[in-house]
Structure 1
């Protein structure tokens, strides 16, 4: 039997076909709805009440886990830091020490093609501890750090920062060079390094972490062409959408909306619109 509404929720009924739905109209530019699941739940004419409830559950679960998406590097780095510190201070046998070293090396191994959150998070925290616990003469003079505050600073960072602010505030030039971080892209059939400047590396990581790395998709019009079609707009900020992922996702949006769905974006510098009216997605 399909589930009914959850306690404390009142799903909005779908408008009748002949009714005018003011909220489905295209809002003013810059004020377009960004919460697509909520918009589908409130405005889709294709969903039964129990289906709206299921979509609402998925949305609630996504919002519940969002803080973890925002602090993955910090969380994994924190766990790795304390695991390493506790094990180093433990009275281990030679066999146990070797086993831990092998496991730790496997978990924190850096990657040539991406960021290992265990590795980067732990290294940033180690660097923070060093700079506040035993600052150099230059750091003492320039920042007024007295030393002996490493642990206090770590707990402050853990309490107040997200991955985005951690990278922006604590990824230093020295750390970028030590970790050999770089910006790269695909050119033809090759991957090439395009920038190793520490600010470029930091800014690219920050860009990737903005909105948890999820593309910003807004609802531009819920009654496109006056035919109840859904027109979405990708807020392009330098990174193209994954075409394969886009073409696999739009049919599901069509299933939830019940009418043709369009997605406006930019690919390779050119305006592009994906359209889906069933299982097939076309580009124009």
Structure 2
């Protein structure tokens, strides 16, 4: 607390020891606001940017330091909140991602009766997600569309990548299931992998493209929002959907399935017996 720069710590201590009626009104008001029976609030102001790494380092330094008196030091404020939230996301993100991937793989195995296709589907989904992450950095962190969208470039919000992962993974897997289930039906009928892939792409291509166009238009509309995190999530998901429905679903998935041939439908013999 520094109400008057001409007064030093010893002077403030002497004034604080005076009876309440004898204290200067400004100091008494500050003490009522900042000091309680078992707590004292210290407001620290710096010229550091709240979201910058230097400010976060300052918070870590205060938290790891030893107070001059017996007690517990707690740090709050925007920088401290961001630091705690980042730590929480980093601790919980692997669990969330692992749960989504494992459950998806199990469901796809039960649907497609293949060990290889669920792995391929997950890898393809990750490609569209990482592509959208790169686009987010280019747009929102480097600020390439900041003038059009009306935001100030800065670091990506901590929760944005995890929110996008869950939403994009679900949307991409929806298109994957539409296509692979049709391929699986054709392969079960003909036993010809190349024909099954071609027929699956032909029968589902227009459906996937139309659905992706509608969903992408909806999410790109989020770019008109006032909140940067809403803009980032909407535009990021829109980009991921476009990439998934064009490059991933129309090119990479059929090409990979054509190259893998009958290995697409491989499963261990013991698993085949248990399934039958």
TM-score between both structures, scaled by the size of structure 2? 0.24
Asked which structure has the greater CA Rg, the reply is: 2
**Which has the larger share of strand?**
1
TM-score between both structures, scaled by the size of structure 1? 0.24
